[in-house]
Amino acid sequence: MSTWYEKGIFYHMYPLGMTGAPKHNDSAETVNRFEELDQWIPHIRSLGCNSIYIGPLFESSSHGYDTRDYRQVDRRLGDNAAFKTFVSLCHEQGIQVVVDGVFNHTGREFFAFKDIQEKKWDSPYKDWYRDVNFGCTSPLGDPFSYFAWQGHFELPCLNLKNPQVKAYLFDVVRFWVDEFGIDGIRLDCANVLDFDFMRELRQMTEGLKKDFWLMGEVIHGEYSRWLNEAGLHSVTNYELHKSIYSGFNDHNFFEIAHNVRRLLAIGRQLYTFVDNHDEDRIASKLRKKEHLAPVYMCLMTLPGIPSIYYGGEWGLEGVRSRTSDDALRPAVSLAEGEKLASPLTELIARLGRIHEENEEFHGGLYKELLLTNRQYAYARMGEDSSVITVLNNDDNPAQLSVPVPLSGAAGEAVNLLEEGPAIPIQDGKIQITIKGNWGAVLKITRRPED
């Protein structure tokens, strides 16, 4: 039986941005912006999404990844009770909730770091951070130096080999499950996290909640180092992300197909996306806006666990600057977004329903059927059925002959994407014309035995 995440279609929420919360957490006042976020839940479900990745959430000083307090929801978003209500409302709608686990580093206002600032070598927390050295000062004027994430000294790195640090963070995870009922964690900066820490976290969470999911942010590296029976359940598929937008921009479907083949052994478990809170939005990356439709067809039917970043359903654009990610994380009210609804919005919703209703996408094997620079067809295989995706990134229609991958298939294929007559299967092939910058999602079933 499939787990919830094998059937997952994610909606990615960056709450501090989408609610327009202040950039810096300078006020003592708690403002409940979860009342606004609660309103998004029916919209998210209407897109076919059955899972939410939301974060960062916990008390921080600025962008959310400089944690002050792991047990308190950021006051710019609300209090713990407000987030607990949000999770409960999601669960009522059949939506699982995954939060950010920022365990590689803290902010400088975290209690352990402040204690070292005050007590120096007498602090019981002096070994909680990496490479603490009282023989020199930090660039920010501390009477000690320390290892910081990518040289950002506002983000001191935790020492995850310290048993006290691990015990503290594992208690935090237990608290999140007990207090809020979360269903999984996205591990920030997993590509630089200690592997022993991640393995022990997997062991601990196995008994914490049924089908609890651990997904890691891995930008570079061989994914199988993280994704395995002893490690994480999934990692971010940046390889596919890159190949999708460049494959469409360069009219080179070979790049996408090569990436899928390379990751075939683990591809169905990977977290797939076309944009997120750290990447320029796909509507800005694509040279042709007409490619948005087939890009989302690609995302929702290739192997993987697909994710839609908030606003993607409305084709929002955004490009990061050298110094800011704000353009990727805009404030958008649901009412404003719904005014931007377009045929792309309905297409994504239809693809979500197709993905959810057809088990071939919940771990079904992948088979390449046809490949040129501008046309690409592949199947997701079930035991007695298959779903074939046919894509055309050319401006002109393409007449294609697509081989059927299912022996004993019935005599016709049904296009799940558009209303219309079934397409006959002749001599083991489907003859189909795909209009420019479009695609088809075809369902075929095995002929019942006489």
Residue-wise pLDDT tens digits, 277-329: 999 999 999 999 999 999 999 999 999 999 999 999 999 999 999 999 999 99
Percentage above 90 pLDDT, the chain:
96
Which of residues 312, 343, 361 is at a domain's end? 361
Whether the CA torsion 130, 133, 134, 136 is positive or negative: it is negative
Residues 301 and 408 in one domain: no
pLDDT band at 449 (very low <50, low <70, confident <90, very high): low
The residue from 361, 392, 410 where one domain ends is 361
Give CA separation, 411 vs 84, 330, 424, in Å. Answer: 51, 49, 6
Banded pLDDT at 447 (limits 50, 70, 90): confident
The pLDDT, as a whole number, for residue 1 is 67
Domain of 22? 10-107+160-361
- From edge to edge, which strands make up the β-sheet containing 385-392? 365-371, 375-381, 385-392, 438-445, 412-415, 423-426, 429-434, 398-403
Q: In the prediction, which pLDDT does 363 show?
A: 87
Percentage above 70 pLDDT, the chain? 99
Q: How confident is the model at residue 66 (pLDDT cuts 50, 70, 90)?
A: very high
Query: What's the confidence (pLDDT) of residue 260?
Result: 98
pLDDT reported for residue 407: 84
Q: What is the pLDDT, as a whole number, of residue 23?
A: 96
Domain's final residue, options 299, 334, 361: 361
Which residue type, as a one-letter code, is found at position 381? M
* Number of structural domains the chain divides into: 3
Backbone Cα Rg of the chain:
23
| Residues 257/266, Cβ–Cβ less than 8 Å | no
Residue 46 lies in a domain: yes
Shared-domain flag, residues 167 and 61? yes
Residue 185: partners with Cβ closer than 8 Å, 6 or more residues away: 98, 99, 100, 101, 173, 176, 205, 213, 214, 215
In a domain, 95, yes or no: yes
Residues 432 and 286 in one domain: no
- List, for residues 156-209, the tens digit of each pLDDT value: 999 999 999 999 999 999 999 999 999 999 999 999 999 999 999 999 999 999
Residue 3 inside a domain? The answer is: no
Please answer whether residues 16 and 64 qualify as being in contact, where contact means their C-beta atoms are separated by less than 8 angstroms.
yes
Averaged pLDDT of the chain:
96
Stretch 33-53: mean pLDDT: 98
Give the β-pairing of 96-101 and 67-73.
unpaired
Residue 5 falls inside a structural domain: no
Q: Is the pLDDT of residue 362 over 50?
A: yes
